[in-house]
Amino acid sequence: MKTKLGISFWLSLGWMVLVILAALLANVLPLPNPNASLVAAPNLGPSIHHLLGTDPNGRDVLSRVIFGSRVSLVVGFGSIALGLLLGGVTGILAGYYGKSVDFLFNSLAMIFLAYPPLILVLALVTFKGHSLWVITIAIGIVGSPLIFRIVRSATQSVAQREYVAASRAIGAPTWRVLAKEVFPNVAMTLVAFIFIAVGVAILAEAALSFLGQSVAAPTATWGNMINDGTNDLAQNPILWLWPSLALFFTILSINIIADRLRVRFGVRDSFI
């Protein structure tokens, strides 16, 4: 009997749908330009004209929160897609073939894992620049070794099962065994971990923004909005609150979705 997903799952999914739709439709929503300064209206409190108020430069906070979600979502999902491409493919090959193939890819993964992730991302971003795509690729590269380890472990478990041995015994080509028998079962294991990885990537981008190492101003990101808010506590003590709440509820929702899917599909922590 399958475990029910529960109300927390559906509330979290609803929040994520809302965030994604707001990010996709930001240009057609009745929002002010997130980078337009209203010199006569700095540090306004919430009102009918500015639902979350304005910042010290007179920019609409709600507009910046919504447009800032684009950066978080692109980095979160884009970097993990790249990580799955790099770590997922090599993880399946290493777990299935073993021996020298496993030794080669596992050694490369361990080399990357030996470095602190944030330091490695900072090094890549400093060397290549602070564009959105550079940051996405950097986080994807840094995250791929961990995805490799998860996929490798899951593949090793699946490769020992009877239906895989039966496919080999009847002479099925390797590509067919991997595509039809191994990959679908490994993908079920990855479902929950993908969401967790997206949450970690979003937090990593926010940390870079807070340190001033993400997308350059005046582009809004949740991280640089939090940083700006903490620097203007005297003038606008709640400015940091709105991007912080957006980030908090997004990460919380992603983790709840991942946890419920892990329980629903019976994913074991031993795959990590």
**Tens-of-pLDDT digits for all 272 residues of the chain?**
456 778 999 999 999 999 999 999 988 988 888 888 775 677 777 888 888 888 888 888 899 999 999 988 999 899 999 999 998 889 888 888 888 888 999 898 888 888 888 788 888 888 877 788 888 998 998 889 988 988 888 888 887 778 777 877 787 777 787 777 788 778 777 877 888 888 888 888 888 887 777 787 778 888 888 888 887 777 777 888 899 999 999 999 998 988 887 777 665 544 44
Does 168 reside within a domain?
Answer: yes
CATH of the domain at 256: 1.10.3720.10
Does 137 reside within a domain?
Answer: yes
Peptide bond into 218 cis (omega under 30): yes
Does 188 reside within a domain?
Answer: yes
Number of domains forming the structure of the chain: 1
Does 232 reside within a domain?
Answer: yes
Does 148 reside within a domain?
Answer: yes
What residue numbers bound the domain in which 181 lies?
A: 7-19+59-271
